[in-house]
């Protein structure tokens, strides 16, 4: 599937109905369009099954709660809607976007409590988020924008408003020939990329930023479990930018990004090494239900 996202065949689940793709529309005075009163989830289906589907649905409702958006739907109802939409799409390997927002109503200022809440689910085919970076390693810029203090906005919510500085950061990165950008947090610590968490390797051990002011992704959580399964020591801690020179390997994690190696961040270079490839291989097997109970030896995992 290619072309503009508003001009495609298929259906989108919207407030309990399957709507023809091109007819799934909202009014220009939708509150979310003006004030970012929207939360969402990005998920992937593999061989007809959405990976960590229920976890995503639970997080969607938690994000809505954090942004004072009351849901009319339960986790079970969202799960059923996602399954129906995936089946209607005809895709087995696909990206699933569930999102909830404040629509048009009596309120058109900052307040929106009088406006109805809507839920939609769209499914489409989406290949590697970073193109050929899975083999070559992504190239990252270093953003001038920082992840905000949790006292300014609920950082544990997957909310559309939190992504505007990510969009600006990614635009600036792409203008420099990069795939993405690394963002620091409001204190100056290494945080994450614009839509993915980050991991580093040094002397056989893994270091990843402490997720105390940004979203700790479900793929991040899964990666930590895969590393524990292999007996790899992990340090979740604050990482200073000047430490980047000392790391040997680096990768990104996210539902869209999956596990993508990083070859460069600004002036810092990394090897697409054995541990990166092994964890990426483990993840690919896990999401397709093919991960063995006993970890594959490192040399076999990356062969």
Residues assigned a catalytic role: 158
Q: How far apart, in whole angstroms, are the C-alpha atoms of residue 102 and residue 154?
A: 17
The distance between the two most distant Cα atoms of the chain, rounded to a whole number of Å, is 62
Q: What angle do CA 88, 36, 51 make, to 5 degrees?
A: 35
Closest CA relative to residue 133, chosen from 66, 63, 180, 198: 180
Task: List the strands of the sheet with 117-124, edge to edge.
Answer: 17-20, 11-14, 117-124, 94-102, 38-46, 49-50
Instruction: Copy the structure tokens of residue 297.
Output: 């030896």
Which of 76, 71, 123, 68 is CA-nearest to residue 100? 71
The Cα 254–Cα 51 span in angstroms is: 12
């Amino acid at each position: 599937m290619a072309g503009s996202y508003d001009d495609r065949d298929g259906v989108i689940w919207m407030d309990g109905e399957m709507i023809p793709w091109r007819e799934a529309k909202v009014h220009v005075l939708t509150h979310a369009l003006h004030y970012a009163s929207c939360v969402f989830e990005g998920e992937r289906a593999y061989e007809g099954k959405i990976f960590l589907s229920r976890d995503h649905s639970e997080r969607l409702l938690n994000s809505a709660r954090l942004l004072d958006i009351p849901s009319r739907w339960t986790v079970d109802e969202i799960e059923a809607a996602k399954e129906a939409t995936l089946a209607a799409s005809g895709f087995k390997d696909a990206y699933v976007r569930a999102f909830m927002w404040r629509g048009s109503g009596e309120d058109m200022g900052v307040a929106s409590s009088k406006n109805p809440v809507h839920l939609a689910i769209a499914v489409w085919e989406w290949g590697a988020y970073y193109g050929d970076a899975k083999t070559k390693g992504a190239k990252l810029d270093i953003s001038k924008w920082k992840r905000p203090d949790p006292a300014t906005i609920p950082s544990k919510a997957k909310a559309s408003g939190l992504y505007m500085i990510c969009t600006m950061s990614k635009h600036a990165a792409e203008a420099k020939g990069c795939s993405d950008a690394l963002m620091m947090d409001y204190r100056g610590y290494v945080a994450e990329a614009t839509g993915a968490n980050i991991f580093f390797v040094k002397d056989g051990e893994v270091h990843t930023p402490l997720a105390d002011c940004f979203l700790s992704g479900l793929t991040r959580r899964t990666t930590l479990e895969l590393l524990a399964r292999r007996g790899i020591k992990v340090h979740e801690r604050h990482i200073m930018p000047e430490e980047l020179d000392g790391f040997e390997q680096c990768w990104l994690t996210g539902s869209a990004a999956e596990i993508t190696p990083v070859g460069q961040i600004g002036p810092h270079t990394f090897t697409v090494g054995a541990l990166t490839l092994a964890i990426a291989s483990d993840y690919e097997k896990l999401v397709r239900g093919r991960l063995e109970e006993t970890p594959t030896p490192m040399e076999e995992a990356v062969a």
